């Protein structure tokens, strides 16, 4: 008994550790593929003071101003529209990281940079208002149509960002070009070309710059190990050299045109080896080199008219950015599927291990139960054996007499011997079946068979303790369930023996255990009612907890194992006070 108790405790702790691992793996599956986001606005998520807000606004205005001044170096006449406008991506990124409170930084930076181009304050204010409105619309659409926790989870996310940028940048180009035209800064007949260049430049800026902020906000940048950082830097340097060779006229014109899409191969290689943020950095590097040399009349896009050259370059870089976003989405979805598949395999393995532990634990509990019943079982087996010996002696005496005048008496003795031998064999069969160690074997059987078998195994103990076990005669016709019969019998034996223990101090007619079967909707319920001391409020919530017991010599495993078995079969088990005192334990199983 002591060994069984120790082994049961060890197996139960092993089982709980397996279950804990499963829960932890499920939590990892739900959080590992979705990094912890900071998108939605640092200033919105945290209660920052006014001074901090002013610092964030000033920082955004300064970054916007600096990148805008760099972008205006490649502007086309009259100097306010450029082939690629990085500040549009900076503005959206600032809102993604800082939230709505940093919006004034966009307007201030845009206003200051445009007043430096020689336009009036009114015109600069109109342009700044358009740029700010475009960033706000893009921010709202990103929060509505992109999952900012995993912004590039599949290929469609890149196309969503493209359409978001295309719609939002209409505001900036329309209000900006309109302000220039209304105030006389735009020559007649150039509104359409200036508007389209402005729109495409803002679109390219969002597509090239904002993905870096999206990935940084979703903490994708933290996925790159430290030892891989040097490799990423070297790879970007090689990509820069390739781009310089193509756009910087280091090669003959025919060869540079033929190698125009060589950087895309390098980008794809970067995507296979490093996090997406490195790829987007490489994309931005290609764009900077391409704009710089194209505006100076070199490279595959160079023509006599710089505006036309930059216009073609805009389409090229926008398509490049869209292709990169799509590839990031495809590989991200593939990696996520592989991650989920490996975790699913781990969960399946954990489930198999848990089932093995449950089966072994139930077997140990049955051995412990049989050890407690051994005295009653020995008495039960001895009865037919003594009867066989007596009947055999009577037969021998009858055969030894010279005058066999009662042959029917001899036949009756032989029949009694046979019946008692069958009875002893049946008792041994029940014992062997109950303690046999085997895997779970679910079959379809009437629940009444399990009830009768459990009562038969406990018949001897019930007689020794002078307890009556009654099966309700009004039970329904045979109700079939699909379960492991031995395990269900184990549950019923645990409940009946607990009822015996609860009536140790009970006298008289209350020493009765009643079993009743009832059909309730789609399940069959077997209740075990005793006339014992009942359930105290202090122990009611702990009844089915492992190692909890109210018996001085109990293991505290019977009800815990019973609940595990019943729930594994899709059923329920609970306890309630009896109508006349005592307790009622009920097992509910789905009907087959």
Helices (H), 99-187: 103-115, 121-145, 155-182
pLDDT at position 138: 92
Predicted confidence at residue 588, as pLDDT, reads: 92
More reliable by pLDDT, 251 or 266: 266
* Region 155-162 average pLDDT: 83
Compute the C-alpha angle 540/543/544, nearest 5°.
135
Asked whether the beta carbons of 39 and 96 are under 8 A apart, the reply is: yes
Q: Name the percent of the chain lying above pLDDT 70.
A: 69
pLDDT tens, position by position, 270-315: 877 887 778 888 888 888 888 777 777 777 777 766 667 777 777 7
Rounded CA gap, 125 and 176, in Å?
A: 9
Confidence of residue 31 (pLDDT cuts 50, 70, 90): very low
CATH 3.30.565.10 residue window(s) in the chain: 440-592
Q: What is the pTM of this model?
A: 0.53
Q: What is the pLDDT of residue 550?
A: 62
Span 234-248, mean pLDDT?
Answer: 83
Mean pLDDT lowest among 88-92, 169-173, 494-498, 584-588? 494-498
Residue 412 and residue 331 in contact, taking contact as beta carbons nearer than 8 Å: no
Q: How confident is the model at residue 139 (pLDDT cuts 50, 70, 90)?
A: very high
Residue 489: what pLDDT? 81
User: Per DSSP, which regions of 372-479 are E strands?
Assistant: 442-446, 468-471
Residue 12 has pLDDT above 50, yes or no: no
On the question of pLDDT at 356 being above 90, the answer is: no
User: Higher confidence at residue 403 or residue 206?
Assistant: 206
Residues in the chain, total: 592
Angle between helices 2-32 and 306-400 (to 10 degrees): 160
CATH class entry, domain 440-592: alpha beta
What is the overall mean pLDDT for the chain?
Answer: 75
With a cut of 80, say whether residue 17 has pLDDT above it. no
Which of 20 and 273 is assigned the larger pLDDT? 273
pLDDT at 204 over 80: yes
pLDDT digits (tens, 9 = 90+) for 359-417: 666 666 655 555 555 555 555 565 566 567 666 766 766 666 655 566 666 676 676 67
What separation in angstroms does the CA of 227 have from each of 32, 219, 231, 274? Answer: 22, 18, 8, 11
Span 153-173, average pLDDT: 86
The pLDDT score that the predictor gives to residue 586 is 92
Per-residue HEC secondary structure of 385-396 comes to HHHHHHHHHHHH
| Bigger pLDDT: 435 vs 413 | 413
Tell me what the mean pLDDT of segment 423-447 comes to.
67
The torsion angles phi and psi of 23, rounded to 5 degrees, stand at -65, -45
The pLDDT tens digits of the residues spanning 35-54 come to 333 444 444 445 567 788 88
Q: Is the peptide bond before 197 cis (omega within 30 degrees of 0)?
A: no
- pLDDT average, residue stretch 155-167: 86
Q: Quickly state the pLDDT bin for 77 (edges 50, 70, 90).
A: low
Digit-coded pLDDT (tens) for 513-568:
889 999 888 899 999 988 887 777 667 667 777 666 666 555 566 777 788 788 88
pLDDT given at position 1: 45
The pLDDT of residue 136 is 94
């Amino acid at each position: 008994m002591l060994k069984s108790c120790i082994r049961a405790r060890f197996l139960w702790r092993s089982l709980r550790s397996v279950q804990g691992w499963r829960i932890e793996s499920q939590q990892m599956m739900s959080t590992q593929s979705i990094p912890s986001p900071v998108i939605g606005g640092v200033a919105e998520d945290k209660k920052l003071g006014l001074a901090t807000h002013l610092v964030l606004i000033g920082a955004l205005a300064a970054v916007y101003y600096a990148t805008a001044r760099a972008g205006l170096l490649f502007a086309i006449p009259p100097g306010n529209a450029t082939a690629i406008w990085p500040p549009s991506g900076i503005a959206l990124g600032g809102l993604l990281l800082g939230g709505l409170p940093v919006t004034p930084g966009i307007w201030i930076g845009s206003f200051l940079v445009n007043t430096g181009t020689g336009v009036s304050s009114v015109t600069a204010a109109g342009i700044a208002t358009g740029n700010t409105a475009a960033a706000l619309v893009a921010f709202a659409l990103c929060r509505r149509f992109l999952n900012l926790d995993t912004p590039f989870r599949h290929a469609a996310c890149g196309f969503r960002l493209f359409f978001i940028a295309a719609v939002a940048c209409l505001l900036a180009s329309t209000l900006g070009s309109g302000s220039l035209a209304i105030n006389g800064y735009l020559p007649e007949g150039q509104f359409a070309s200036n508007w389209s260049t402005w729109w495409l430049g803002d679109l390219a800026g969002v597509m090239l710059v904002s993905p870096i902020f999206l990935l940084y906000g979703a903490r994708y940048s933290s996925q790159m190990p430290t030892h891989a950082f040097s490799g990423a830097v070297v790879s970007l340097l090689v990509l820069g050299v390739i781009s310089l060779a193509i756009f910087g006229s280091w090669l003959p014109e025919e060869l540079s045109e033929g190698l125009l899409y060589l950087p895309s191969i390098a980008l794809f290689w970067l995507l296979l080896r490093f996090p997406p943020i490195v790829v987007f950095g490489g994309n931005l590097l290609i764009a900077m080199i391409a704009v710089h040399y194209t505006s100076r009349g070199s490279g595959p896009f160079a023509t006599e008219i710089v505006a036309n050259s930059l216009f073609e370059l805009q389409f090229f870089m926008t398509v490049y950015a869209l292709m990169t976003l799509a590839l990031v989405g495809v590989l991200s979805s593939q990696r996520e599927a592989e991650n989920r598949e490996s975790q699913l395999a781990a969960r399946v393995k954990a489930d198999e291990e848990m089932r093995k532990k449950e089966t072994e634990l139930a077997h140990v509990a049955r051995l412990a139960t049989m050890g407690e019943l051994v005295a009653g079982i020995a008495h039960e087996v001895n009865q037919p054996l003594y009867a066989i010996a007596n009947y055999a002696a009577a037969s021998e005496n009858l055969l030894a007499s010279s005058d066999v005048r009662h042959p029917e008496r001899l036949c009756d003795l032989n029949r009694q011997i046979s019946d008692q031998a069958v009875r002893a064999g049946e008792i041994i069969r029940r014992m062997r079946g109950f303690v046999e160690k085997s895997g779970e074997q679910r079959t379809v059987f009437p629940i009444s068979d399990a009830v009768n078998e459990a009562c038969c195994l406990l018949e001897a103990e019930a007689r020794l303790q002078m307890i009556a076990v009654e099966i309700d005669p009004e039970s329904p016709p045979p109700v079939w369930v699909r379960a492991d019969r031995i395990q269900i019998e184990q549950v019923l034996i645990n409940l009946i023996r607990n009822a015996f223990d609860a009536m140790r101090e009970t006298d008289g007619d209350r020493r009765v255990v009643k079993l009743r079967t009832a059909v309730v909707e789609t399940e069959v319920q077997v209740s075990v009612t005793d006339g014992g001391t009942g359930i105290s409020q202090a122990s009611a919530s702990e009844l089915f907890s492992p190692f909890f017991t109210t018996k001085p010599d109990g293991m505290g495993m019977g009800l815990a194992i019973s609940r595990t078995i019943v729930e594994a079969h899709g059923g329920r088990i609970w306890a309630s006070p009896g109508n006349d005192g005592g307790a009622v334990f009920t097992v509910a199983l789905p009907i087959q």
